[in-house]
Every structure is written in structure tokens, then in C-alpha cells.
Structure 1
């Protein structure tokens, strides 16, 4: 860990580094988990600081009135579930099993797929 004064760090040429303190925070990248992004977004919006998540997929984060300073680079679970259903339909499958990683991302994705499959009909989910 870098100590406060940076005395334990040296540049390649042997000089001590010069640490510039930022004037202000211009944005936050993260978090990966939707639950964490939701909590962080609620705090950051008070200060009008933008947040970009690389993995948060919870549909509630699409509410631009509540999460007006939040953005993500992945589609929400509902879009991914629709894409999975489109693939199943295009392949002519009507009996499928689901498998997901443990945690919010995988489990929420499967839940969204099961829900949209039930709403649209025509696909039987054997095991989830």
C-alpha cells in the first residue's frame, strides 16, 4: 500500500512520484453487482456524479427518473432473456433446461427467461 506521502514508492528512474490530488470526482465506474450499483447510485445522484456499470443488469436500474445519473454498458436482464427466447424459438426448441451461475447476475437472468417464456408460451422449461 502507498503511504500518505508516497515515500515508499519510486519511479523507474529512482525519483519520487508526484501525486496530484484531483479537484473533484467526475464519475464512478462500477459496481459489478446490481445490488451494490443501486446503493451507490442512490448516493451519487445526490451529488450529481455519473456512474457507469460494466455488469449490473437489474431491470430497475432502467428507471431513468430514479437512477438519472446511472448508465451501463450491458443490457438489462429483460433484454437478455428476450434474446435467449428468440434463440430458442429460432432453433425450433420447445423443451429446454436452464443453467446459471450462482449469484445475482445468473439467477436473475434465468428468472427473467422463465418469466418471459411463460408469458409468451410455447416453451416448456424442464429444469431450472
Structure 2
């Protein structure tokens, strides 16, 4: 019986030591995997936070750009209206000048025609 126990001890001793080594190796691997997982999760969390910051900044930039474009559109519309009014006023001024020139020309021609008629009437009476 002692032989059997010692035989079993001889056989199981290395097996149990081997099992302990394997358990310790497995525990180290689990710890290492847990540490790696925590590090990666931390990196992922940092990346997500960074992405959220980028999204917020981009949203803010987009809102500012949109507001700037709206202001530019309003200013451009006002400038266009002013330009159209100025253009209309210039056209009316040009028409008035042309009309004034024609009116002066017609008045001059009318005056000359009456002067010639008066001159002819006076000559006929003399």
C-alpha cells in the first residue's frame, strides 16, 4: 500500500505542480489580458471623447459658417437693392439729360423757326 501511495505521490506530485504552474500561467495570462483590455478600453474612451470634441467643434464651426452665410446673403441682397436703385437712378438721370437735350434742341429749332417767320413777315410788311 505504501508503494501505491508513494507511486501515486510520485506521479501526482509533478502533475499537481504542473497543474499549479499551468494555473499560475493562466492567472498571469488572465491578468495580462485584463490589463490589455482595460488599456484598450481606456484608449477607446479617449478616442470617443476626442471624437465628441471634434464633432462639437465642427458643429460650432458649421453654425458659425451658416450664420455668416446668412449675414452675407442679407448684406448682398441689401447691396444688390442699393445697386439696382442706383442703376435705376442713373438710368433716369440719363433719360432726363437726353430729354433735356432734345427739349433744348426743339426749343432752339422752334425759336429759330419763329424768328425766321417773324423776319419774313417784317420783310413782307416793309
Same fold (TM over 0.5): no
Instruction: Name the structure where strand makes up a greater proportion of residues.
Output: 1
TM-score, normalised to structure 2, is: 0.22
Instruction: Name the structure where helix makes up a greater proportion of residues.
Output: 2
Bigger relative CO (Cα 8 Å, ≥ 6 apart): 1
Rg bigger for which structure?
Answer: 2
